[in-house]
Structure 1
Amino acid sequence: MSYEPVRVASIGLGRWANIMANAIERSEKLKIVACYSRSVGKREAFAAKHNCEIEDNLESLLKRDDIEGVIVTTPNDQHAPVIEAAAAAGKHVYVDKPIAVSLDHARRIEKAVRDAGVVFTVGHSARRLAGVRKIKELMDSGRIGEVSMIETNFSNERGMELQPGNWRGDRLMAPGGPLTQLAVHHVDSLQYLLGPVVRVFSFMKSMYTPVDQDTATMTICEFASGKLAYIGANWASPGVFFMNVYATKATLFYDLDFGWWSKADVVDDHSKLILREFTSKGDDPDNRFLHDVPVTLERGDMFREQFEDFADSIRGLKAAPEIDAAQAIHNIAVVLAAVESSKTGKAVEIEDILKS
């Protein structure tokens, strides 16, 4: 169904804002009409590239009647004040993951969008990858049996590039380093697949970086269902993104070429999902052999799809976006619990973090 494109403005105009704008431009459901950043140079470059108007302050942008929603890609610790202002102005809000890096800010955001009655969603896009969607389908159908555990990793070399003054190198602005900035995607996808995490245990270390920031993290998650998962994340290796699912009938191995991550319209072409199961010859239980079956993945576009989900909710075609504030808060609570565990050397209950 076609409709008048939702008119949006981009706030925070770094590298990621341009990647998000490219995704919006692949859709007929949204249109970028304006932009704002504190940096004059970034404003001018973004406007020239994406053919939109410039506002030199947030207040003037939010007063515009032709803007229905905002796309927020500011640093994590700046999400709350921007979203509070946007919601108060009646603008619908998309914010890139994570929702915030403190529960105080996350709850401020949740209250602001609830009180204003605006559509709100968070960019946990990885659950929309063709491989993750197919894993969900195979789990729900019973094809692979009952899952016992999942292993994941999302890593790249960012930590070796960090310099003093970069906000990603600040433990308060990016707690857990790569766990907040990268593997929070796996936190969301795992809860999409297995339900809520209830307890975590984590190790975090600072390695190979000129700043005092965690760059290697290992987190074990226990779910309400009793299932288990491992999340690895580091900033000291070439790009990695994988998910291995262990179930009673089969094992799934999903691997994605991180070099294509920002090109969401083709990234699914650069990933593979293998189903490994036993095949038998005759009735002899010792005459069984493991057999790998490639699983066909249909190309999607995780970034475009998340914005169209946002737009459809604004236009009333959906009751709400797939990812809401409550889910996003639980995602960051898992990260904060992992950070606390790494400090104390003890397992941490998610409920204790949410009550803190």
Structure 2
Amino acid sequence: MIRAAIVGLGWWGKTVVDAVQGKSDKIAFVAGGTRTRAKAEEFCRDKKIDLRDDLDSILNDPNIDAVVYTTPHSRHEEHIKRAAQAGKHVCVEKPFTLNVASARAAIDAVKKAGVVLGVDFQRRFHPSVGEIRKRVRDGSLGTLSFCVGEVATPSGLALPKESWRTNPEETPAGAMTGLGVHLVDGFIDLCGEVDEVYCVNTRRAAPLVDDTTVFTMKHKNGVISTNYCTLASAASYCIAVFGTRGIAETMRPSLDTFRFIPVSDKPHVAGQPEIIENKGFNPVQAVMEAFAAAVQGEAPFPITHDQIIHGVAVFEAIVKSAKTGQPVKVA
């Protein structure tokens, strides 16, 4: 059992704790830290988490194996470095960092310390996404032509003014940091590295943040993926990959249902679909347990350092495209 600390106990930090505490035999949270102690005291008592007053008390504790950060994005490099220097394995909320230089510096610290690094792209771990990955890898889809991703949440409509998530320096390009980076990671996994991006960003309904972001990625292998994100609609997440032999997709509103539609011998008639249900799966628990397994030496964390850095490079290019209104090559 990995003994972890959770640093950052806002709504997402609490979601991470709820996913594993008392439910996993691989990882448990024994300590926590937050900037707003009063908002977390009751939660930590209920979850039997020792709420600490400062990060040093966590990093200096030999009874803590790993630190999970759900902190503002601009702090990630600093926090990862401090954990690594203390010999703690570290997992961080997405986006990993806000620019490539920061990502490289954080990963250099992790490599120097020899600790395990995880990043919370939990949707990659869902079995429905795994079904798409399997069909991409084994050739069932034939030659890929394009992909579509859609993700939505109403959270932008009710963000409080005091939330750091309303700060455009922390959340550039509207819905990218909250939602779009999941699609970036997902399609890097399925289609490979990205060569060029184009992004359009706007504010439609949310009072404090740009809420709607659309971006297209041209992958190095020629596949095009187009992605739609909004912070101002009903919760939904779905992706689809189109190939010469069929379509593999997850169906709205969640990842619970996978569907494969084969090409038929009639050009305007779809083949008989294959449907696989994966209800009740918790991807947040899955990513935390994959991190724990990597710490235990059972299996490498499936998102590599190179993929993490490339994902940040793609994100940085998308932010630049949103600002300039022009396509941007990924560095």
Choose from 277, 293, 317 the match for 1:312: 293
Task: Assess if the C-alpha contact under 8 Å between 2:174 and 2:201 holds in 1.
Answer: no
Residue 158 of structure 2 is aligned to residue 173 of structure 1: no
Q: Which residue of 1 aligns with 2:228?
A: 232
Task: Assess if the C-alpha contact under 8 Å between 2:257 and 2:278 holds in 1.
Answer: no
**2:229 is matched by which residue type in structure 1?**
A
Q: Which runs of 4+ in 1 moved over 6 A?
A: none
CA–CA separation in structure 2 for the residues paired with 1:63 and 1:345: 47
Q: Which residue of 1 aligns with 2:326?
A: 346
Corresponding residue SS for 1:291: coil
CA–CA separation in structure 1 for the residues paired with 2:303 and 2:264: 39
Task: Assess if the C-alpha contact under 8 Å between 1:183 and 1:233 holds in 2.
Answer: yes
Contiguous gaps of at least 5 residues in structure 1? 259-267, 352-356
Corresponding residue SS for 2:176: helix
1:82-109 Cα offsets, whole Å, 9 max, x none, are 2221111111101111111233332231
CA–CA separation in structure 1 for the residues paired with 2:249 and 2:61: 48
1:201-230 Cα offsets, whole Å, 9 max, x none, are 11111222322x321111111001011100
Contiguous gaps of at least 5 residues in structure 2? none
Task: Assess if the C-alpha contact under 8 Å between 1:13 and 1:37 holds in 2.
Answer: yes
Residue 253 of structure 2 is aligned to residue 257 of structure 1: yes
- Using the size of structure 2 for normalisation, the TM-score is 0.93
1:247-295 Cα offsets, whole Å, 9 max, x none, are 101123322435xxxxxxxxx5xx2222223444xxxx67x73234132
1:156-195 aligned within 5 A:
156-195=153-192
Instruction: Tell me: CA distance 1:77–1:45, structure 2 relative to 1, closer, same or farther (3 Å).
Output: farther
**2:108 is matched by which residue type in structure 1?**
K
* Structural RMSD (CA): 1.9
Q: Which residue of 2 aligns with 1:272?
A: 257
Q: Which residue of 2 aligns with 1:133?
A: 130
Q: Which residue of 1 aligns with 2:58?
A: 61
Choose from 304, 307, 321 the match for 2:301: 321
CA–CA separation in structure 2 for the residues paired with 1:79 and 1:324: 17
Choose from 14, 18, 22 the match for 2:14: 18
Shift of 1:137: 0.9
Shift of 1:68: 0.7
Task: Assess if the C-alpha contact under 8 Å between 2:135 and 2:248 holds in 1.
Answer: no
Q: Which residue of 1 aligns with 2:34?
A: 37
- Using the size of structure 1 for normalisation, the TM-score is 0.87
What is the aligned length? 329
Instruction: Tell me: CA distance 1:163–1:302, structure 2 relative to 1, closer, same or farther (3 Å).
Output: closer
CA–CA separation in structure 2 for the residues paired with 1:292 and 1:93: 45
* Percent identity (aligned): 28
Shift of 1:246: 1.2
**1:276 is matched by which residue type in structure 2?**
I
**1:338 is matched by which residue type in structure 2?**
I
